[in-house]
Amino acid sequence: MSSVTPALPRTSGTFLRPDSATQWQLMWRRFRRHHMAMLGLSILGLLMVIAIFAEIIAPYQPSQRSIRYLAGEPTGVHFFDSDGTFHARPFVYARIIKRDPVTLRAVPTVDQQTRWPIRFFVHGEPYRLWGLIPTDLHLFGVESGFIHLFGTDSLGRDQFSRTMYATRVSMSIGVIGVAVSFVLGTIIGGIAGYLGGMADLLIMRVIEFIRSIPTLPLWLALSAALPRDWSSLQVYVAITILLALIGWTHLARTVRSKLLALREEEFVVAARLAGCSDARLIWRHLLPSFMSFLIVDLTIAFPEVLLAETSLSFLGLGLREPAESWGVLLYAAQNVRSIAHLPWLLIPGLFVIAAALAFNFIGDGMRDAADPYAK
């Protein structure tokens, strides 16, 4: 894979022997110089950790209701108490219920006299990690009272825990959607570029057609046509496949143009003369030499899929409760009135922006790194 283009690195100053760094190492060197891309990579890493360990990081189950703290604001984390004394163990202030003298509504009020210290690796609500391992370990929690870092919704569900679970669903839709796009794009683009002729013409026309129509209204229409009685798993699969149909056209174009350009290259001719089969030629020689460009396209496709899922769910046409995704959570913040009352419901939106930003940064860095021999 590494010896596809054994050109001498033209980096001035340091002399590198051709075998001293593989192409991927050269790319990594170049990528690391891109600070924003490295920042993007760390954000992405964090989101992936959340997606994998959502159950452990979340102090509560997503459907668990905190009946004494409905529509409550984020509890906040403190190190200094109201007297200014420092506590090494962070804490949240206790909440006590007071009755509004006029409306007689129960209003949770901050009680600055009582502290609820935060403990780490506490035993709480039992659950199955990844649906397999039964455990009750949570990354953090409070022993008495409750902790809601992102507040609660009008049903008293912990927004922080729900956001953690939503991160898993949203990121997985992105990953699966992009993976399906990748397979579709490589196969279809590969057919167009490798066969050429009529197949190429036809496929390129189809791609042009798809790119010329506004996708979001079409996806909205298609997901609205999904049967209403489907389970949330079925809807999840269907939406993921629908979204995967967004990303592949761009990828197919890249694959096709690279294949057309490479077909006449000497190493391809050499491989063909040496008796390589078509399949071996594609997988061993052609694909590795433009893999990096494909990865660039994939990073660009990811935020598209992510934003599309969020928009669909936000409109109530994508995933629906009890499934959790960033879009589903934002569905509760649909109008200005609810945001004015519960502005913390917008916090999942920050996750959407962070994820999309991270992928944009990484994409930029990758584009620079994809061709490590360019000046």
Partner 1 sequence: MLRFASQRLLGMALTLWLVSIVAFAVIQAPPGDYAEAYLTEKQQSGAVLTQEELTQMRQFLGIDRPWYVQYATWFSRIVLNGDFGHSFEWKRPVADVIGERLPFTLALAFTTLLFMYAVALPIGIYSAVRQYSVADHTFSLIGYIGLATPNFLLALVLMFLGQQWFGQSMGGLFSPEYQEVPWSWNKLLDFLQHLWIPVIVLGTAGTAFLVRSMRALVLDELGKMYVVAARASGLSPLRLLLKYPVRMALNPIVATLGWRLTFVISGAPIVGVVMSLPDTGPLFLHSLLNQDMPLAGAMVFIYCALTIIGTFVSDLLLVMLDPRIKMS
- Contacts with partner 1, residue ranges (CB under 8 A): 209, 211-218, 220-222, 224-225, 227, 303, 307, 310-311, 314-317, 330, 333-334, 336, 339-340, 343, 346, 349, 352-354, 356-357, 360-361
Contact present, 98 and 107 (Cβ < 8 Å): yes
Minimum Å gap between C-beta 36 and partner 1 is 8
Spatial CA neighbour of 290 closest among 246, 247, 331, 259: 259
Minimum Å gap between C-beta 224 and partner 1 is 4
Minimum Å gap between C-beta 277 and partner 1 is 37
CA angle 108, 106, 336 (to 5 degrees): 75
Q: Estimate the crossing angle of helix 35-52 against helix 23-32, to 10 degrees.
A: 100
d(CA 312, CA 329): 12
Spatial CA neighbour of 298 closest among 208, 183, 217: 183
| 72 vs 303 by CB, closer to partner 1 | 303
- Residue written as tokens 């002729």? 197
| 42 vs 112 by CB, closer to partner 1 | 42
Task: Output phi, psi for 75, to 5 deg.
Answer: -75, -25
| 23 vs 310 by CB, closer to partner 1 | 310
Concatenating the DSSP letter of every residue in 192-247 gives HHHH-HHHHHHHHHHHHHHHHS-HHHHHHHHHHTS-TT--HHHHHHHHHHHHHHHH
| Peptide linkage before 74 cis (omega within 30 of 0) | no
User: 52: helix, coil or strand?
Assistant: helix
Minimum Å gap between C-beta 252 and partner 1 is 17
- Residue written as tokens 């279809």? 188
List Cβ neighbours of 293 (8 Å cut-off, separation of 6 or more). Answer: 254, 258, 370
Minimum Å gap between C-beta 314 and partner 1 is 6
d(CA 276, CA 209): 36
| 55 vs 309 by CB, closer to partner 1 | 309
| 126 vs 343 by CB, closer to partner 1 | 343
Minimum Å gap between C-beta 344 and partner 1 is 12
d(CA 31, CA 37): 7
User: 112: helix, coil or strand?
Assistant: strand
| 57 vs 333 by CB, closer to partner 1 | 333
Minimum Å gap between C-beta 334 and partner 1 is 7
Minimum Å gap between C-beta 214 and partner 1 is 4
| 289 vs 311 by CB, closer to partner 1 | 311
| 303 vs 372 by CB, closer to partner 1 | 303
- How far is CA 74 from its chain centroid? 24
Minimum Å gap between C-beta 71 and partner 1 is 17
| 140 vs 314 by CB, closer to partner 1 | 314
Q: Which amino acid is at 197?
A: G
Q: What is the largest CA-CA distance in the chain?
A: 90
